[in-house]
Each structure stands twice: as C-alpha cells, then as structure tokens.
Structure 1
Amino acid sequence: MSIIPQRIVERLKELRATLDEPRVRQRLTEGSGEPNRPALRSPRRVTAASIEALWQKIRAVAPAGDEQQRLLADPDTLASAECYGANIENMIGTVKVPVGVAGPVRINGLNAAGDFVIPLATSEAALVASYARGADIASRAGGIAAVLLTEGVLRSPGFKFANVMEAGLFLEWVIDASAELKVAAEATTRHGKLCAIEPMMDNEVVFLLCRYTTGDASGQNMVTIATEALCRHIETHCPVRPRHWFIEANYSGDKKSTYLALTSGRGRKVTASVTLPRALVEKYLHVSVERFLDYSRMASLGAMLSGQIGAQGHFANGLAAFYIATGQDAACVSESAIGFTRVEDRDGDLFISVTLPNILVGSVGGGTGLPSQAAALHLLGLQGPGKAAALAEVVAALCLCGEISIIGALAAGEFTQAHRKLARER
C-alpha cells in the first residue's frame, strides 16, 4: 500500500498527461526554435529620451501600451529622470507605493532623542495602523530607550590553497601583514575603516571575515571595493599563492539570515525597550499583562520549535516598509529581520525589549538621495551626514512598536478582527 498522499499522486498524473502533449514536450526539450530577441538595454545616462526609447523597444516584446507607459513614466518621473541614473539600469519609470506615517513616537536614545514621525511605504493594509498603535502606547509610557551597541559591515573573501599547510602559512602571513592590509583597504574610501580581520579556516580553504565601520552609509558597496583592494594586495605581496580566491565567498551573511549575523552582527546592532504600565496595557491593548505574557511564552516556544533564527513577531514588516520609504537596500531585510523580542513582568507592569544585530541603514548614499526617499528622511530629521546612528535607533524603536501591537492583538484575540476591518471590509 502506497504511503504517498493521494493529492501528490493526482498531481503527478496531471503533470504526466501534460508532458505527453507533443508541443509541450518539444518546448521543454528543444526550446521554441525561434531566434532570440536582442536584450533590452538603454544608455547609462538616464534621460526622458532614454526612457522613451526603451519603451519603444519594450512594445516589440511585451504587452505594453500607452497606459502602462503613462503610469510608470509619468511627467514628474520624466522631469527628474537624470537623478535616478546612479541607482538603476534600463530605467522605464517609477512605481508609486503608498506611504503612511506612524507616530510621533518618543525615543530616548543614545543618538536619537525626541519625537519622530516615521514614514512607512507599504501596500499591506493594517500595517501602518499597527505600528502607529504601538508608537502611541510606547510614547504614553514615557518613550522608548534605544542604544546603538556595535557596528561593522562584513565582507568575506575566500582563498583556496593546495593543502592545509599552505593555508596555515597564509594565515600566519595575514596576521603579520594586517597593518598593510588595513592601509590597502582604507585607501579606497574616505569614510570606511577596517576594524577587524577574523579568519575562518576549513582545511585548505581560508575565509577572511573583514569587518568595517562605514560612517553614515549603509556601506555595502564601500566594503566590497575596499576588500577588493585588500585581496589585490594579498595577491601581489603574499608569498603563499592561493589556487584561486573570490571577493565574497558566502560567509558574511550578505542578504541572508544566518547564525553568524545573529551572534556577531553584520551592520548596526541596536537594542530598544520600554516598560508599559499595567493600566496602559489594559486600556489600549485590551488585554491583561498576564495574558500578554502567556502569548509571549507560547510564541517563544513556537519560534524555537520551528527553528526561527532569533525569536520575534514581525520585524520584517516594519523594516521592509521603512527601508523602501527611506531608500535603504530592501533586500537587506532578509538579514536585518533577525533578532529577539523579550517580554517580562516588572512588578505588575510590562517590560518589552527588542535586539536587532543587523540593521543595515544609512543616512547618505544608495537610494537615500532620490527625491521621495530624501523627503522621507527629511521628515524624520535624519537626512545627510551624522545621522546614521540615530537612524538605526529609530529603526529598532519602530520594530519595538510593531511587537507591542501585534503581540497585544494576538493576545487579546483581535488580530483577525483588525485585518478584517482594515483590509477586507474597507
């Protein structure tokens, strides 16, 4: 008797029947037989004319008409087209994502101090309302304490040698030449500083985990260019020659959720906390402190049993919306959204904290200079040099607001009701 679920058996039969069709079989095994169309490319310099020219090429290969062009390449986008040139290739327009605000939220941070209105770009109904509710309750409790603990963006070149002995001799040379390597790396940047080289050896393969501070930039490109210079210096001066090496050997955790990122951080590590008086919890979250704690304990068990890296409710929601609104690298949400939410009873009141070891944000560079994104940062009062540390503390405070609200909704049995009211029925 087969133990394969019947739904899988039925799906395989459907798939087999489809594969037996001659046209499908030919397409999967021989291709379409049609000549390839030329790749869509536009000049590196973005202008209204280059956007129009690319749209003309698109019409030959895609179901694109005047309406699609009008919506993506609107007059405002065309008028400011050149400002996007450093941020994108083959530009055909811009996409409008609704932006809402949460706050003002009171933050009593080491670097961020005051009331902040936080812009969030999302198409998910109920998200902004949830973060806004958490911000209101935290502010009524006196505000959120937030502290930037450490920072250090990583790049991890990998080197392969003939054997373990050569790998060991290479490491010995790297240790002796670390001052030279620092000079080589920092020669490529005015703001980046190489603060550590942490080796990881696996027999004949050596990873060099290069950790940088990056000033007020998120620093992804900065550390890549600096590490390339470091590796070229090794290639030129090291007497032990690797068989081959790669600028990034997938050890740094770049745009991935990893235990390395959880324990050692890749970006800015920030912690934030607030103590909510019992009366506020009951009045605004409609739940008792005890019930809130009951949910938190069960959720922590669920996180552990499912293998979650860290234990938290929904950091990714706030991070994605904030990153898109302020011109951060949205793909970094995959690593930024790991960390811990901790909830405790403090003499009958509710203490809640978050710790995020990988907040990758900058107040300069990347997409932060684009028109809408710069406006969002300006709304925060955190645009430009000298603001990245405060920006990271604001992000942690935002995530804390989201945890307060979602745990409260789940503990009070209002989670489904809120989504029905704000999403389906509106």
Structure 2
Amino acid sequence: MHAVAGVPMKWVGPLRISGNAATTETAVPLATYEAPLWPSVGRGAKVSMLVDGGITATLVDDRMTRSVLVEADDAATAHSAALQIDARFEELRETVRTCSSYAELVGIRHEIAGNLLFVRWEFTTGDASGHNMATLAAERLLDHLLWTIPGISYGSISGNYCSDKKATAVNGILGRGKNVVTELLVPRATVHDVLRTTAASIVRLNLHKNLIGTVLAGGVRTANAHYANMLLAFYLATGQDAANIVEGSQGVTVAEDRDGDLYFSCTLPNLIVGTVGNGKSLPFVEANLSRLGCLVDRESGGNARRLAAIAAATVLCGELSLLAAQTNPGELMRAHIGLERRSVGS
C-alpha cells in the first residue's frame, strides 16, 4: 500500500521570463514546509514584473551524464583504452542510437587513476531528466567496450565521476543537466520601494556572505545564499527527483551596482529536470506542468528546457529577496516568526 506525503503547495507570482528557452509570464508552484519561502519568492517575482523583459534566462548547455568504471591491467593499458574510446566517438554514438530513440551521445571525458579508467558519458535526453536513459545507454556502451577493447574488465556501471547527487567540482565545471544563467537589471527606485534596500548594500552582502563566506566554509564551485530552498520546493511540485538539489544547489550569484541600479544574476550549471518519466504521471504533477506550459507539442527537449528556465528564474526571485532582507537587521527573523506562526495557526 502506497501512502501519499502531503507537502503544502502554493502558486507564487506571476514572474516574467524571457530568453532562448522560454518567454512567458507565469506563476510557479512551490511545495514546502517553509512558509516564508512563498512571500519571499513572490517579492522577487514582483520585481521581475516591474522590469522590461523580466528575468532573462539563457540556457547555455544541456547534457545528462553517467560515468562507468573499467579496470585495466595497468595504467598504460588504461591510457590505450581511453585513446581508442576517443577515436571511436561516431561508432559509440551509433551504439547509443540502437538502445534509445531520444538519448544522443554528445561528449566523452575520462580520468585515469592507477589502473582504473573512469569514463564520463554525456548525453542529451529529450524531455526526460535522463537518469535511467543515460544509465541504459552507459550500460550498452560499457558492454561494447568490454567486448571490443582488450585488457580491460568491468568495474562498475557508475564510477562516481558522473557525479550523481553529489556536490563536486566536476559538475560545477562541466555541468550536469541544464546549465542556465538568469539575469535581471533592477532600477534604483524598484530596489528601494520593493526590496527596501540599495544596490550597493546587496553587492556588499553578496561579496562578504556568498563569496568570502563560502570560501571560508570550503564550498565546492558554489557561491549563493539558498538556491536549494527554491529548487526543492519547485522539484517537489513538478515531480522531479528531489535528491538532485545536491548538485543543483551549486551555483554562483553575481551582483553589480550600476549607478544605483542593481544587476543581479544566478548561474545554475546543474539543473536536472524533466517533463516526462517517473513521477510525471501523478495528477497534481501533470496539472502543474500543464499550467506551466510544459506539456505542449514542441521539439524534443523543448518542454524540459522551458521548465529549467522557469526553475532558474524562480531561484533568482528567492535569492534576490533573501539577500535584500539580509541587508536589513532583523527583517529575516521578523518575517520567519510572523509567517511561520501564522501558518501554524491556520
């Protein structure tokens, strides 16, 4: 018997988005126990509606990865195998096409440690987030390598160089899933009236907190306040694998004071989202994806890319609002105490 865990969900917004993956005005669903998240993201969404073009979301890359591990007799044999793999790219691409109508091999990277060869396969996976699709293709590729390259043997179908649901430098550098950059230029008056702060204050806090503070904490390829909060709420509401917020929360917030106007940007290299696959047939998920315009007839991958742009814009809204709040002593705690008590009382 399956029980259903009910997480409170609200639609927040609308927010305005433009860019190469989505141009829309839409509210967004957020499922969370953290009641202050809704009005916080809502404030960022309000800012986006007051800016021409709203949040510009630029999708710069799209690839799901799975690494396999093979064991060689020695390092020289592992190196020879790696060279053969690189030389057979087109052959390996055709091998992937025999096992999937949507997976496409787009890149190969590898590392050698002793006699161990780690091969990171990179795929596009249509509108699926691509975990299972990439694993199936990786298994087929691994079988092909073991059959055709001498001196190597099976190590594992997953060698952790993927790197799945772990915050790693390789994912921060190379990306995993959708890599989206969001930007917003907020006029001085809006910064003052809606965010109740100044561009200079947010820039200073971003430097001291997100950049220096994260360096001191030993953060891995990341410098942000709370991407994970928005991503978890958005992932739960849209049927995503919530554990992907581990790498998804890696990202960098950039803020600049442009003569009193605020340039604000969030870069998220590891957005793992899909509009088809496991979890997407749940009635509430299907309804939410439909309302977001992510279940329409588009070219393969178009719906998932749109969803990633909306997710990234949602992150920016929450990040901007929180940093604004933290420039004002006491504002954050007053909001949490007031809103969470009200939520409990209701």
- Structure 2: which amino acid aligns with 1:273? E
SS at match of 1:157: strand
Q: Give the distance between the partners of 2:204 and 2:79, measured in 1 at CA.
A: 52
SS at match of 1:156: strand
Q: Which runs of 5+ in 1 are unaligned?
A: 1-50, 52-91
Within the alignment, does 1:403 sit opposite 2:319 as a pair? yes
Q: Give the distance between the partners of 2:152 and 2:44, measured in 1 at CA.
A: 56
2:198, 2:260 within 8 Å by CA — same for their partners in 1?
no
2:65, 2:120 within 8 Å by CA — same for their partners in 1?
yes
Residue by residue over 1:61-80, the C-alpha shift from the partner in whole angstroms, topping out at 9 and shown as x without a partner, is xxxxxxxxxxxxxxxxxxxx
Q: 2:3 aligns with which of 93, 115, 120?
A: 93
Residue 20 of structure 1 is matched in structure 2 by none
Residue by residue over 1:91-140, the C-alpha shift from the partner in whole angstroms, topping out at 9 and shown as x without a partner, is x2211111111111010121211201100111111011111111111221
1:424: how far off? 3.0
SS at match of 2:120: strand
Residue 49 of structure 2 is matched in structure 1 by 139
Residue by residue over 1:180-232, the C-alpha shift from the partner in whole angstroms, topping out at 9 and shown as x without a partner, is 22222221111110011112112311111100011111000000000000011
1:294: how far off? 2.2
Residue 260 of structure 1 is matched in structure 2 by 170
Residue by residue over 1:259-314, the C-alpha shift from the partner in whole angstroms, topping out at 9 and shown as x without a partner, is 11111101110000101111111111111222222222211211111112210011
Q: 1:329 aligns with which of 238, 241, 250?
A: 241
SS at match of 1:412: coil
Q: 2:295 aligns with which of 383, 387, 404?
A: 383
Per residue, is there more helix in 1 or in 2? Answer: 1
Q: 1:272 aligns with which of 182, 190, 198?
A: 182
- Structure 1: which amino acid aligns with 2:55? I
Residue 134 of structure 2 is matched in structure 1 by 223
Q: Give the distance between the partners of 2:192 and 2:22, measured in 1 at CA.
A: 29
Where in structure 2 are the equivalents of 1:42-61 lying within 5 Å?
51=1
Residue 257 of structure 2 is matched in structure 1 by 345
Q: 1:170 aligns with which of 54, 69, 81?
A: 81
Q: 1:206 aligns with which of 107, 117, 129?
A: 117
Q: Give the distance between the partners of 1:249 and 1:308, measured in 2 at CA.
A: 23
SS at match of 2:190: helix
Residue 332 of structure 2 is matched in structure 1 by 415
1:285, 1:412 within 8 Å by CA — same for their partners in 2?
no
Q: Which runs of 5+ in 2 are unaligned?
A: none
SS at match of 2:306: helix
Residue 72 of structure 2 is matched in structure 1 by 161
1:172: how far off? 2.8
SS at match of 2:280: helix
Where in structure 2 are the equivalents of 1:285-304 lying within 5 Å?
285-299=195-209, 300-304=211-215
Q: Give the distance between the partners of 1:200 and 1:288, measured in 2 at CA.
A: 46
1:153: how far off? 0.7
Q: 2:32 aligns with which of 122, 128, 132?
A: 122
Q: How many residues align?
A: 335
Where in structure 2 are the equivalents of 1:338-377 lying within 5 Å?
338-377=250-289
Q: Give the distance between the partners of 2:79 and 2:179, measured in 1 at CA.
A: 32
TM-score, with length taken from structure 2: 0.94
1:271, 1:353 within 8 Å by CA — same for their partners in 2?
yes
- Structure 2: which amino acid aligns with 1:263? I
TM-score, with length taken from structure 1: 0.76
- Structure 2: which amino acid aligns with 1:423? E
Where in structure 2 are the equivalents of 1:176-195 lying within 5 Å?
176-195=87-106
Q: Give the distance between the partners of 1:378 and 1:350, measured in 2 at CA.
A: 33
1:101, 1:132 within 8 Å by CA — same for their partners in 2?
no
1:169, 1:240 within 8 Å by CA — same for their partners in 2?
no
- Structure 2: which amino acid aligns with 1:304? V
SS at match of 2:129: coil
Overall identity of the aligned pairs, in %: 37
- Structure 2: which amino acid aligns with 1:221? N
Larger radius of gyration: 1
Which has the larger displacement, 356-365 or 384-393? 384-393
1:239: how far off? 2.4
1:425: how far off? 5.0
SS at match of 1:124: coil
SS at match of 2:322: helix
Q: Tell me: CA distance 1:288–1:176, structure 2 relative to 1, closer, same or farther (3 Å).
A: closer
SS at match of 1:368: coil
Q: Give the distance between the partners of 1:326 and 1:316, measured in 2 at CA.
A: 15
Q: Give the distance between the partners of 2:207 and 2:151, measured in 1 at CA.
A: 53
Per residue, is there more strand in 1 or in 2? Answer: 2
Q: 1:241 aligns with which of 119, 143, 152?
A: 152
